[in-house]
């Protein structure tokens, strides 16, 4: 669809000179790559109870991430595995919520939000696995992916609180587990 539009623009613009085409191409491209940030803040759509649960969960995840950072630097693999697992297990959509909460949350948020949440969930399991395998390289790679997933979701859905992330150009594949990215590239 987007490539169709830009092909049409190209044909139109070549009559006027190709520098115009390039500029327009760049504008179209920019519009696309920032599409993920066009999402609206999610909090106003959540009940106070759900907001509270989510916030509590986020604070726990942030703390676990800080502890994992510290453990990775020192080669404390068992701790990396344990904290990675704890992020995976305490994951909001799986555990902290009653059935009713879960239903309310799922119907209040867009599909992309749920996917991003699922990516983080999957990455946390991968990190735990890398901890158990005592594989520092894989721990660092996975940790970086997880950090991307925090920034990607916050820049799309939490700009009402994190203004600094508004309009930041985030690559669309940020936070996706590696396997999935390779699948989509093939």
- Minimum Å gap between C-beta 168 and ligand HEC is 15
Q: Kindly give the interhelix angle for 48-73 and 136-157, rounded to the nearest 10 degrees.
A: 150
- Minimum Å gap between C-beta 30 and ligand HEC is 24
State the Cα angle at 144 between 140 and 74, rounded to 5°: 35
Of the pair 28, 93, the CB lying nearest ligand HEC is at: 93
Of the pair 13, 158, the CB lying nearest ligand HEC is at: 158
Gap between the Cα atoms of 14 and 39, Å rounded: 34
Of the pair 69, 135, the CB lying nearest ligand HEC is at: 69
- Minimum Å gap between C-beta 132 and ligand HEC is 19
Of the pair 88, 154, the CB lying nearest ligand HEC is at: 154
Of the pair 28, 178, the CB lying nearest ligand HEC is at: 178
- Minimum Å gap between C-beta 8 and ligand HEC is 36
- Minimum Å gap between C-beta 135 and ligand HEC is 20
Q: What are the residues binding ligand HEC (CB under 6 A)? A: 42-43, 51, 54-55, 58-59, 61-62, 65, 113, 116-117, 120, 146, 149-150, 153-154, 157-158, 161
């Amino acid at each position: 669809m987007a490539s169709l539009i830009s092909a049409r623009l190209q044909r139109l613009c070549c009559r006027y000179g190709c520098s115009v085409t390039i500029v327009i191409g760049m504008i179209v491209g920019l519009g696309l790559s920032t599409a993920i940030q066009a999402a609206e803040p999610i909090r106003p759509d959540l009940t106070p109870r759900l907001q509270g649960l989510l916030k509590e969960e986020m604070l726990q995840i942030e703390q676990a991430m800080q502890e994992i950072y510290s453990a990775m630097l020192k080669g404390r693999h068992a701790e990396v595995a344990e904290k990675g697992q704890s992020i995976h297990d305490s994951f909001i959509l799986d555990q902290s919520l009653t059935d009713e909460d879960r239903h309310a949350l799922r119907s209040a948020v867009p599909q992309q939000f749920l996917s991003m949440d699922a990516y983080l969930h999957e990455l946390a399991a991968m990190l735990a696995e890398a901890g158990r395998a005592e594989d520092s390289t894989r721990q660092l790679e996975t940790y970086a992916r997880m950090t991307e997933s925090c920034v990607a979701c916050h820049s799309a859905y939490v700009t009402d609180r994190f203004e600094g992330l508004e309009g930041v150009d985030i690559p669309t594949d940020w936070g996706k587990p590696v396997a999935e990215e390779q699948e989509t590239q093939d």
